[in-house]
A and B are shown apart, each in its own frame.
Chain A
Amino acid sequence: MSDTSPATAELKLPKDIAAEKGMVNVQIDGIWHQFPKGTRMIEACRKAKVDVPYYCYHPKLTVPGNCRMCLIQMGMPPRLAPGQDPTYDENGYQTIGWMPRPAISCANSIAENMGIRTTGELVEKCREGVMEFLLINHPLDCPICDQAGECRLQEQSVGFGRGVSRFVDMKVKKPKNVDIGPRIRLDDERCIMCSRCIRFMDEVAGDPVLGFTQRGTHTTLTVHPGRLLDNNYSLNTADICPVGALTSNDFRFQMRVWFLKETPSIDVNCGTGTNIVIHTRGDTIHRITPRQNDEVNSNWMPDSHRLNFHYIDGDSRLTDVLIKEDATHRPAAWPEAIAKTAEALSQFDPSKIAIIASARMTNEELFLVRALAGELKTDQFATVPREGENDGLLIAADRNPNTTGAKLVWNSSDPSASLSAIREGVRNGSIKALLVLGEDLTAEAGFTTEDLAKPEFIASVQLLAGATAEASDVVLPGAAFTEKRGSMVNLTGRLQRLNRAVEPQGQCRDDWEILRDLAAAVSGNKPDIFLIEDLFKKVAASTPAFEGLTLSKIGHLGTVVTETGYQIPLLTNERARAAAGIING
């Protein structure tokens, strides 16, 4: 334009500055932000820490835009007349022409110079209207509904709902308490048709068994005829259900969620090291749910791992220190058992002692195992390999959670290498004393009950009663994964933390304390480590990969300590979908 002075023409406008970085400028509630091109409006609002309520949207799933809760007011610069040049205000932005009708923020992407209003009369009226529609047929089940307390509908109805329903007709009747799978219960009256579960089963679990039938107010969520929702990832649908339509059978009516204390920790059922939250009240674990970590498990977790915690306070849990006398076990005190074990082990020649540890132990415990082996002057120590099948999503073939950690801490390429030699040694009688740590040898280790009768002395740290505990001369009750602190390295080389959610039961003690006391009793010195933090510092000092780390520096999402090249299949799928623009997360 002729009247533009040269100085202004050279000044870069915000849109050009943003475009150079592949970003666009968006005004959210009056404040300008920059976001990458292609971001959805709802994600932009979330990043700008502006609250937009929603039900059907999920960052890891496709966007159907069917709940209408995320309506916002949108504005763009008015379209120019032919030949008209855009005008800019003193900050370099064009005036926003606000649209007189709302738009859903989940299905629309942001554009340059766009305006978003998440408040104001239009938006608030829309939200109130959507809430009123959703609540027309929603039953008054909150007192019996397991979702109460973490129900999005409950939360939004406090924000945008009416006190009283204006609807005078009968509510629509739908199937209640439907058994649609072994782990999931469906209540169709509570369903608000967000279709998150349908999309999850289709897109993430790859088992599209859920779908809607009927139309309009009679829309009903159901499973495909002749099929069940029995996929190993089915419980994730209960997690993402914004209401109580899908609830977990295992957690059904166990405890109201507002009583539960949440402890972030990690799963120990396979090498993936799924991030979890342990929900407890008092000393009871009520449920385990996945915790978002986009480098490990995204937002999901397999059912088989999630439900594998009932053994912790089950009938076969060992809670007493036991010493075998005349073929029966009697309860004993810790100092006696430790002294007896140390004394018994010292009577054998080091070549006749072997330690079988577990790759289910934390780095700290494995470090102490090596220290103990050093005190006993034996080099016969090994972990037990535990192989399963990779399910192509989250479950790794290596069912030990800390194989990588064992490799790093023991500085060995195969921590289980000498296991077969130890097994042979036990069989041919060259190994007379066995220290078993957290493994039942008759399971994956390949021992038989006859083998276990051969050594002259067996001491074991055990969680559950079993053949190994039965054969042990001294049984030391250890702590379950929910009862201890420590760190593990998953298959991708990420160092992650376990946190204590409940106190160890009965006489049980943290495994690292048992190992520390054993090592001290064998050497005759006094124990010198009293905090797990100090122990981790020792581990970090002797393990190059952990250099400079402390337990607190690991953080809740873990720290990468080594490159293994292992890819978690579910994340590979997810990244491909994100790269293709199918999902936003």
Chain B
Amino acid sequence: MPTIKLTRPKLNVGEKIYFGALIKGFFLTMMHAVKSLRGKSYGAEGLASSGLGVTMQFPEQRWDDHMPEYYRGAPTLVTDEQGRERCVSCQLCEFICPPKAIKIIPSEIPSDDKWAKVEKRPFEFDIDMTRCIYCGMCEEVCPEQAIYLRKDYLITGTSRAEMVHDKKKLYEIGGVRVGLVNKWNELK
């Protein structure tokens, strides 16, 4: 391995006693203090500041409206415009999930069901939110566009069991997504 020799920067006397830097820091702090008192903190508007500085008064105030489109919150399951659950339990998300947060038990759709042509759907679909790292790989890997990371970020619970989102809860948060997959149409 090549050795790289680093030379320390040459400091003059003023820099060596570092008193000047302290004063400089002090004035910087005071400048921001004055700015915040005048309500002119940098970025206060963008972060929806509700008082001094950039602090938002959570939970009375939320930054939900300020979240970007690409925000990755809780993973959820979605239904399509006809009310069909999009997930066919191919288990690719379970496979790709880095912290192994997803557990799926597949089942067959009975032949008298409206969507019997799809043949397969999840019997159980659990996402353990204590494990989820919001990486979005499940959304990316899904061949049926059935799993989406929504903007929900307040995932709380009083027990570990409560932190596991089951199929019902996932559809409840997920809601409906329109378009994209129509290959299970009778004509297709």
Residues of A whose CB lies within 8 Å of any CB of B are: 140, 142-144, 148, 170-171, 176-177, 252-256, 258-259
A177 and B113 CA atoms in complex are apart in Å by 14
Which of B90, B144, B187 has the most C-beta atoms of chain A within 10 angstroms of its own C-beta? B90
Chain A: CB-nearest residue to B104: A256
| A143-B95 Cα distance, complex, nearest whole Å | 13
Q: Which of B7-15, B116-124, B127-135, B162-170 contacts A (4 or more CB under 8 A)?
A: B116-124
| Seed contacts A144-B90, A253-B120, A259-B94; 17 additional CB < 8 Å A-B pairs | A140-B183, A142-B90, A142-B143, A143-B88, A143-B143, A144-B119, A171-B188, A177-B119, A252-B108, A253-B106, A253-B108, A255-B91, A255-B106, A256-B90, A256-B91, A256-B95, A259-B91
Contact assessment for A254 and B106 in the assembled complex, using a CB-CB cutoff below 8 Å: yes
> For residue B91, which residues in chain A have a CB less than 8 angstroms away from its CB?
255-256, 259
A171 to B89, CA, bound (A): 25
Nearest 7 pairs between A and B by C-beta? A143-B90, A144-B120, A253-B106, A256-B91, A144-B88, A143-B143, A143-B88
Bound form: Cα–Cα A176–B184 in Å? 13
Give the distance to chain A from B125, nearest Cβ to Cβ, in Å. 14
- Complex Cα distance, B186 from A171, in Å, reads 12
A258 contacts across to B, CB distance below 8 A: 95
The number of chain B residues with a CB under 8 A from chain A is 21
Complex Cα distance, B188 from A140, in Å, reads 10
Give the nearest-CB partner of B116 in chain A: A177
Within 8 A of A (CB), among B129-176: 143-144
Contacts of B187 in A (CB 8 A): 170
Separation of A19 and B119 alpha carbons in the complex (Å): 58
A144 touches B118 (CB 8 A): yes
Q: Which residue of chain B has its CB nearest to the CB of A177?
A: B119
Q: Which of A143, A253, A255 contacts B107 (CB 8 A)?
A: A253
CA distance A259 to B188 in the complex (A): 30
Residues of B within 8 A of A254 (CB): 106
A253 and chain B: residue at smallest CB distance: B106
Query: Which of chain A's residues have a CB closer than 8 A to the CB of B116?
Result: 177
A-B contact pairs, 26 of them (CB 8 A): A140-B183, A142-B90, A143-B88, A143-B90, A143-B92, A143-B120, A143-B143, A143-B144, A144-B88, A144-B90, A144-B118, A144-B120, A148-B90, A170-B187, A171-B188, A177-B119, A252-B108, A253-B120, A254-B106, A255-B91, A255-B106, A256-B91, A256-B95, A258-B95, A259-B91, A259-B95
Q: Is B111 at the interface (CB under 8 A from chain A)? A: yes
Identify which of residues 59-103 in chain B touch chain A, using a CB-to-CB cut-off of 8 Å.
Answer: 88-92, 94-95
Min CB distance B43 to A, Å, is: 44
Kindly list chain B residues whose C-beta atoms are within 8 Å of the C-beta of A253: 89, 106-108, 119-120
Most chain A CB within a 10 A radius of its CB, from B111, B116, B120, B183:
B120
Q: Which residues does chain A contribute within 8 Å of B107, judged by CB atoms?
A: 253
Complex CA gap A258/B95 in Å reads 8
Contact status A177-B95, CB under 8 Å: no
B residues near A252, Cβ cutoff 8 Å: 108
On B, residues with C-beta under 8 Å from A are 88-92, 94-95, 106-108, 111, 116-120, 143-144, 183, 187-188
Chain B residue at minimum C-beta to C-beta distance from A148 = B90
Contacts of A255 in B (CB 8 A): 91, 106
Q: Which residues of A contact B89 (CB under 8 A)?
A: 253
- Chain A residues within 8 Å of B183, by CB: 140
| Separation of A170 and B90 alpha carbons in the complex (Å) | 25
B143 and chain A: residue at smallest CB distance: A143
Bound state CA distance, A449 and B108, in angstroms? 42
Find chain B residues with CB under 8 A from A259 CB.
Answer: 91, 94-95
Contacts of A256 in B (CB 8 A): 90-91, 95
- Contacts A143-B88, A254-B106; is A176 near B117 (CB within 8 Å)? yes
The reply to whether B111 and A177 form a contact with Cβ atoms under 8 Å apart is yes
Residues of B within 8 A of A176 (CB): 117
Q: What residues of B have a CB within 8 angstroms of the CB of A148 in the complex?
A: 90
**In the assembled complex, which residues on chain B have CB atoms less than 8 Å from the CB atom of A142?**
90, 143
- Give the distance to chain A from B128, nearest Cβ to Cβ, in Å: 16
B118 CB contacts on chain A under 8 angstroms? 144
Q: How far is the CB of B143 from the nearest CB of chain A, in Å?
A: 5
Chain B residues lying within 8 Å of A140, measured Cβ to Cβ, are 183
CB-defined contacts of B108 to chain A, threshold 8 Å? 252-253
- Whose C-beta in chain A lies nearest to the C-beta of B106? A253
Closest Cβ of chain A: how far from B105's Cβ, in Å?
Answer: 9
Min CB gap A419→B, angstroms: 45
Distance from A171 Cβ to chain B, minimum over Cβ atoms (Å): 8
Chain A residue nearest to B146 in the complex (CB): A143
Query: Complex Cα distance A170/B118, Å?
Result: 19
Separation of A254 and B117 alpha carbons in the complex (Å): 18
CA of A176 to CA of B91, assembled, Å: 22
Interfacial chain A residues near B144, Cβ < 8 Å: 143
Q: Which residues of A contact B119 (CB under 8 A)?
A: 144, 177, 253
Question: Complex formed: what's the CA distance from A176 to B183 in Å?
Answer: 15
Report how far A258 CA is from B141 CA in the complex, Å.
15
A77→B95 CA distance, assembly (Å) = 52
In the complex formed, the residue of B with least CB distance to A254 is B106
Bound CA span A521–B63, Å: 71
Output the least CB separation between B51 and chain A (Å).
51
Distance (Å) between the CB of A532 and the closest chain B CB?
Answer: 32
Distance in angstroms between the alpha carbons of A144 and B107 in the assembled complex: 11
Across-interface contacts of B111 in A (CB, < 8 A): 177
Q: Which residues of B contact A144 (CB under 8 A)?
A: 88, 90, 118-120
Chain B CB count within 10 A is highest, among A144, A170, A256, for: A144
Shortest B149–chain A CB gap in Å is: 20
How many angstroms between the C-alpha atoms of A332 and B106 in the bound complex? 37
Per the bound structure, the CA–CA distance linking A422 and B50 in Å amounts to 91
A142 CB to closest chain B CB (Å) equals: 7
